[in-house]
Amino acid sequence: MSKENFKRPSKNLIESFRKLATPTISDALDRLGIKGGCEGILPIIPGSKIVGPAFTLKYIPVGVKKGTVGDYIDLAQPGDVFVLDNGGRTYCTVWGGILSITAKLKGIAGTIIDGVCRDVEEIYEQKYPIFSRGRFMVTGKDRVQLEAINIPVCIADVQVKPMDIVVADDSGVLIIPQE
């Protein structure tokens, strides 16, 4: 697991992106030749918006030695966006109601999942913004485990590095590289 310190984007830069819709940013990225759109990752709650620096997490299938699914929330800072690379798996979840409640209390801006989430009723109650490939009730416990924190990950064929800027709205999810 990585515990490196990465350069955080400035609050002014985050606020500048908060004022823009993803189609506008996408057009600018296209002109620069940057692939930033995460195809197929959509909001669980319509009308949700997320803007913030990426806090990345990589999941792998459970090996001989089983690991944890979710011991990382205390490492993030308020305003961070959890970006979970579950390899696009739709047969088990890596996020649900308990993590949503905990993340909201911590001030996390939202969660992006290349995979699915569960406990959708609790997510709606919390009004916690999640963007994923969908929803499915089967737990990831004993199916996947956390491999690494804050390493480059891949969400819908888009590379996401720690502290890249995430912007998500009803049109989808964009990753703006810091470089």
Q: Does domain 11-176 have CATH number 3.50.30.40?
A: yes
Residue 76, helix vs strand vs coil: coil
In the chain, the percentage of residues whose pLDDT exceeds 90 is 88
Rounded to the nearest integer, the mean pLDDT of the chain is 94
Model confidence over 81-138: pLDDT tens digits? 999 999 999 999 999 999 999 999 999 999 999 999 999 999 999 999 999 999 999 9
Q: How far is CA 20 from CA 75, 166, 174, 178, in A?
A: 28, 12, 12, 17
Q: How far apart are CA 54 and CA 52, in angstroms?
A: 7
Q: How far apart are CA 144 and CA 146, in angstroms?
A: 7
Model confidence over 39-58: pLDDT tens digits? 999 999 999 999 999 999 99
